Amino acid sequence: MSFRSRVIGCGAYLPERIVSNAELARRLDTSDEWIVQRTGIRQRHVAAPGELTSDLAVHAAERALAAAGLSGADLDLIVLATATPDNTFPATATKVQSRLGMTEGCAFDVQAVCSGFIYALATADNFIRCGQARRALVIGAETFSRILDWEDRGTCVLFGDGAGAIVLASHRDEGGGAPERGVLSTHLHADGRHHDILYVDGGPSTTGSCGFLRMEGKEVFRHAVHRLAEVVDEALSANGLAARDLDWLVPHQANRRIIDSMGRKLDLPAEKVVVTIDRHANTSAASVPLALAEAVGDGRIKPGHLVLMEAMGGGLTWGAALVRW
Ligand code: ACO
C-alpha cells in the first residue's frame, strides 16, 4: 500500500498597504516605466509596523483550512517556508501551530528563499508518502520589506510581503487505471557555489544583526532561465508527460521576463501561465502559493487539471512540483 498527497485547500493573505511604483519614484531615483519594463511589477503589498510573518501566515493558513473544511486540530504537520522568520528561533511554524490550535504532530521552518515553497511542499509530500503525516499545512510567508535596503533602487523595487498556504491530505494510491490526482512528483536542487550572488549581509553568526538583501541581478537572472528550464524538463519527463499536457504553469514571480521565457520554452499560450507579479512583486516563498490561491479561487484551476510549479532562489536553490489538481 502506498500513499499520495492531495491538495484539499488553498488560501492567501496580502497586507493591506499597497506601495505603487510612483510612490517609490517619489523617494528614489527610479521610475514606473523602468520598473514595469525590466520586471513587470506595478505595485507591492507591505506589512504594517508590528505585522509579522507569523501574522500573514496565520491569515493564509486559516483561509486554506476553511477551504479544506478542517481546523488546526486536524493537522499533524506544518512546514513553513520563510527567509524572514519572526525571530532567529523558534521556528515561525511553531507560533503558527499554537495560533491554529494544533497541539500534536510537528511544525518546523524550511529555508530555501524563493524556492522555499517548493522545498516545503516536497518535504510535506514525502512525510505523507512514507506515512509519517496524514494532514499537512504547507505555508510560504514573507516580510521581505524588513530586509530591504530602501536606498538601493536595484533591489528594493523588486520585492513585496505576503503569504499563501495549501492543505495536503493523504490518499491511498491505487496505482494503474485513470491518472491519479495529487502531487505526482517534486524535484529539488541546490548549488551552493553561487551562495554569494543573492544573500542577506547579516545574521546571528556573522554580524548579529538582521542585514539587508544583496543581489547580482544579472547573474541571478542568467541562472534562473537556465536552471528553471532544466527542472521543468526533469519534472515532465519523470512522469512521461509533455508540455502540451499542462493545463497551468504557476511559476515563482521574480521577473516577468523570466516568466515569459519559461512560457515560450514550454510553448504555452499566455492564458495558461498564472501571473501575479504586476500586483504582488516578488514575495519570495509566498509567491507560488499566492498565485495558486488566486487561480484556484477564481476558478481557473479545476479538479483534474495538470499544474506545474517552479521556482529558483538564493542558495542557489531551485525546484519544481507537478500536481494533478
Ligand atoms: N530604477 C532605475 N534604474 C535602475 C533601477 C531602478 N529601480 N535599478 C537598477 N537601475 C539601473 C542600474 O543602475 C543600471 O544603470 P547603469 O546602466 O547606468 O549602470 C541599469 O539600470 C541596468 O541595471 P541592470 O541591473 O543591468 O538591469 P537588468 O536589466 O539586469 O534588470 C533586474 C535588473 C530587474 C534586477 C534583473 O536583473 C532581475 O530580475 N534579476 C533576477 C532577479 C531574480 O530572479 N531573483 C529571483 C530570486 S529572488 C530570491 O531568491 C530572494
Give CA separation, 33 vs 19, 29, 42, 83, 215, in Å.
Answer: 15, 12, 9, 29, 21
Give CA separation, 224 vs 101, 195, 261, 262, in Å.
Answer: 39, 14, 10, 10
User: pLDDT tens digit string along 70-129?
Assistant: 999 999 999 999 999 999 999 999 999 999 999 999 999 999 999 999 999 999 999 999
Residues with CB under 6 A from ligand 1: 30, 34-35, 38-39, 113-114, 153-154, 157-158, 198, 217-218, 220-221, 224, 254-255, 258, 282, 284, 312-314
CA 238 from centroid of its chain's CA atoms: 22
User: pLDDT tens digit string along 171-227?
Assistant: 986 665 555 899 999 999 999 999 999 999 999 999 999 999 999 999 999 999 999
Q: What angle do the packed helices 116-129 and 287-297 form, to 10 degrees?
A: 70
Our CA angle for 129, 75, 179, nearest 5°, is 35
Catalytic residue among 21, 114, 255, 280: 114
User: pLDDT tens digit string along 225-261?
Assistant: 999 999 999 999 999 999 999 999 999 999 999 999 9
Give the global pTM. Answer: 0.96
User: pLDDT tens digit string along 267-295?
Assistant: 999 999 999 999 999 999 999 999 999 99
Find the 210 Cα to ligand 1 centroid distance in Å. 23
Find the 28 Cα to ligand 1 centroid distance in Å. 14
Please give the share of the chain, as a percent, with pLDDT higher than 90: 96
Closest CA to 53 of 164, 154, 127: 164
Domain topology for 2-173: Peroxisomal Thiolase; Chain A, domain 1 (3.40.47)
Give CA separation, 44 vs 161, 200, 293, in Å.
Answer: 7, 20, 17
The atom of ligand 1 lying closest to the CA of 313 is 50
The atom of ligand 1 lying closest to the CA of 155 is 35
pLDDT at residue 177, as a whole number: 53
Q: Confirm whether 2-173 and 182-324 share one CATH topology.
A: yes
Beta bridge partners of 312: 318
Please state the rounded mean pLDDT for residues 158-180: 84
Catalytic-residue membership of 21:
no
Catalytic-residue membership of 59:
no
Where do the domains of the chain lie?
A: 2-173, 182-324
pLDDT at residue 180, as a whole number: 80
Find the 257 Cα to ligand 1 centroid distance in Å. 12
pLDDT at residue 286, as a whole number: 98
Catalytic-residue membership of 194:
no
**Beta carbons of 255 and 223 less than 8 angstroms apart:** no
Q: Which CATH superfamily is domain 182-324 in?
A: Thiolase/Chalcone synthase (3.40.47.10)
The atom of ligand 1 lying closest to the CA of 30 is 1
Assign 241 to helix, strand or coil: coil
